[in-house]
Amino acid sequence: MLLALLTAVFLNAAPVDLSTPPTVVLVPLGEVDDAALQAIRAGIESHARVTVRLDPMRPLPPEAWYAPRKRWRAEKILDAIDADLPKGAWKVVAVTAAEISTTKGDIKDWGIGGLGNIGEASCVVSTFLVRKHSKEPKAYARRMAELGVHEFGHTLGLEHCPTPRCVMSDAKGKLIRSLDSSSGQFCDRCRHQLQEGLVQLDVTAAPGP
């Protein structure tokens, strides 16, 4: 029954040929700890039938630096990634230890854990807030995996989801609380919007509709 829920509709994302697993490229921006990279890699591989490749480190794009708050603008990071996509990449997950932000509503510079272009190629994930609030390595790895999957989900065309505990839930400014309350899975509603054959099903932990 759950397999029937997987349709060939990708919201804003174009369908992809799944006869060969598409490549998701992890791109470290500056020095990034291996624990975060491996957690994000494992999280994405457990959710989607893709090949995840780790590319060499790139510097953070200087045009993304926001001097008034001494942090980096996430949307400008994504612009730089999109302008120079790794060879063979279907999706790109950029990972940085730097503090990142974007504009949200009336707030010009809103601190965030990540940002994904809906239905497009790229997203960016920051370890900054998760590292700051994670004392235990296991908690750090689990939270980074959740965050990576969430932003990757945006590139698949998924908006924030109203289903409680869905991995695509909106953090609403409470990043750690949201990561800890997440089931770690796409809910039935989100699966229904993804291309058939892409999602690795794990129905034991998935929240209901």
Tell me if 205 is assigned to some domain.
Answer: no
Q: Kindly give, in sequence order, each residue whose CB lies less than 8 Å from that of residue 163, ignoring residues fewer than 6 positions away.
A: 169, 187, 188, 189, 190, 207, 208, 209
At residue 19, the pLDDT reads 83
Domain count, the chain: 1
Q: Is 208 a member of any domain?
A: no
- Residue 28 forms part of a structural domain: yes
Structural domain contains residue 207: no
Q: What is the CATH number of the domain that holds 73?
A: 3.40.390.10
Mean confidence (pLDDT) of the chain: 90
pTM, two decimal places: 0.89
Cβ atoms of 151 and 24 within 8 Å: the answer is: no
* Domain assignment of residue 121, given as a range: 2-6+20-191
In a domain, 41, yes or no: yes
Q: Is residue 199, in this structure, part of any structural domain at all? A: no
- Is the pLDDT reported for residue 13 higher than 80? no
Q: Does the residue 203 lie in any domain?
A: no
Statement: residue 146 has pLDDT above 80: yes
Residues 174 and 133: their CA atoms lie apart, in Å, by 12
3-state secondary structure (DSSP) of residue 95? strand
Please indicate, yes or no, if residue 15 is contained in any of the structural domains: no
Around 192, how many Cα atoms within 13 Å sit in the side-chain half-sphere? 9
Q: Quote the CA–CA distance of 73 and 75 in Å, as a whole number.
A: 6
DSSP 22-50: PEEEEEEES---HHHHHHHHHHHHHHBS-
Residue 14 has a pLDDT of 67
pLDDT tens digits, one per residue of 17-66:
888 999 999 999 999 999 999 999 999 999 999 999 999 999 999 999 99
The pLDDT value recorded for residue 208 is 39
Q: Is the pLDDT of residue 191 over 60?
A: yes
Give me the pLDDT at residue 12, please: 52
